[in-house]
Amino acid sequence: MKILMIDDTTTLNMALKDAFIQKGWAVTVANTDLNDSQSILDAGKYADDVDICLNNMYTPSNTQEKHGQARISDIFLDKWDLNSVKYIINMIDMSALIKAEDYEGDKQYRLDNVMFNAMTTVFNARADGPNVCNAYMDRDNMIEAHVKLFCHVIENSIQVWPSQLVLNKPLGDIA
């Protein structure tokens, strides 16, 4: 398995990279700057050499143009058009719910705090591939659970591919 990670600087991303390497998967890190158009375009050069793009970096957009993470997804969708054996996992950070005011314009909320990501309209799978999964997670918590889930999804990608993943903390207090 050949995996492209857009970023490996957070605790979760470092743990994912280590787990992928332990499984013997080839990992390439693009270190893409999501606020730099050329850096985003450069990430696309890896498309022919990888099976999975882990679109795992989220930075609030500082411009009026489409968010960098959505642009990376578009690039890979276009390059992998009609290719049903390629996979994109868009990691969407639920921690924005904590300080939603920092993400104005990028996220939409309902009163009950269910998050809708304005970018996911671009993240919808196309009928003829590639396979797209939107993973809503909290990058600062439950690192081990996230790593196990992502490894499980990738290991089983030939048999089944989820379109959405949501990993939440258990409700209630742990005594």
- Write the pLDDT tens digit of every residue in 105-152: 444 443 334 444 444 444 555 556 678 887 877 766 788 888 999 999
Q: Which domain holds residue 133?
A: 2-166
In a domain, 171, yes or no: no
CA-wise closest residue to 69 among 10, 14, 5? 5
pLDDT at 8 over 80: yes
Phi–psi pair at 16, nearest 5 degrees = -65, -45
**Residue 38 maps to which CATH number?**
3.40.50.720
The per-residue pLDDT for 173 is: 54
The per-residue pLDDT for 49 is: 92
Specify the number of domains making up the chain.
Answer: 1
Pairwise CA distance, residues 74 & 67, whole Å:
11
The per-residue pLDDT for 139 is: 66
| 36, 59, 106 from 65: Cα distances, Å | 11, 13, 11
Pairwise CA distance, residues 70 & 143, whole Å:
24
At 138 the three-state DSSP class reads coil
The per-residue pLDDT for 125 is: 52
Pairing of strands 164-166, 131-137: parallel
76 DSSP 8-state letter: H
The per-residue pLDDT for 16 is: 94
Partner residues linked to 91 by β-bridges? 135
In a domain, 172, yes or no: no
The per-residue pLDDT for 59 is: 60
In a domain, 47, yes or no: yes
The per-residue pLDDT for 56 is: 85
The per-residue pLDDT for 155 is: 92
The per-residue pLDDT for 162 is: 80
Angle between helices 143-155 and 11-22 (to 10 degrees): 40
In a domain, 43, yes or no: yes
pLDDT band at 28 (very low <50, low <70, confident <90, very high): very high
